[in-house]
Chain A
Amino acid sequence: MISIVNAALLTLLATVTVAIVRQRSLFGVVILAGAYSFLMASLLIALDAVDVAMTEASVGAGISTVVLLATLHLTRTREAPVRRHNLVALLLSVVVGGALVLGTLALPPFGAADAVIHHHVAPHYLANSVRETGVANVVTSVLADYRGYDTLGETTVIFTAGIGVMLLLRSFRGRRRARDDEDGAQ
Chain B
Amino acid sequence: MSLDLIIRVGTKLILPFILLFALYVQFHGDFGPGGGFQAGVIAAGMVILAAITFGMDAAKRIAPPRLVEFMVPLGVLIYAGTGVVALLMGRNFLDYSVLGHDPVHARELGIFLVEAGVLVTVSGTMTALFYAFVERGR
Contact = CB atoms under 8 A, between A and B. Distances in A.
Interface in A114-141: 131-137, 139-141
B133 A71 contact: yes
A162 to B, nearest CB: 3
Q: Which of B80, B83, B137 has most chain A Cβ within 10 Å?
A: B137
Nearest to B110: A145
B124 A148 contact: no
Interface in B81-105: 83, 93-94, 96, 103-105
B64 to A, nearest CB: 14
Contacts of A104: none
Contact of A171 (B121, B122, B125, B135): B135
Contacts of B34: 51, 54
Interface string B40-73: 0110110010001000000000000000010011
B134 A70 contact: yes
Interface of A is mostly: helix
A74 B35 contact: no
A151 interface: yes
B31 A162 contact: no
Interface of B: prevailing SS: helix
Interface residues of A, number: 46
B44 A134 contact: no
A158 B79 contact: no
B76 A70 contact: no
Given A63-B41, A137-B32, A155 B25 contact: no
Chain B interface size band reads: 35 or more
Q: Which of B52, B132, B135 has the most CB of A within 10 A?
A: B132
Given A54-B25, A74-B133, A151-B118, A133 B33 contact: no
Contacts of A141: 111
A133 B108 contact: yes
Nearest to B93: A149
Given A58-B42, A148-B94, A159-B73, A51 B133 contact: no
Given A54-B25, A63-B45, A74-B136, 12 more contacts: A71-B133, A134-B105, A135-B108, A135-B111, A137-B30, A137-B31, A140-B29, A140-B115, A148-B94, A151-B114, A152-B94, A158-B121
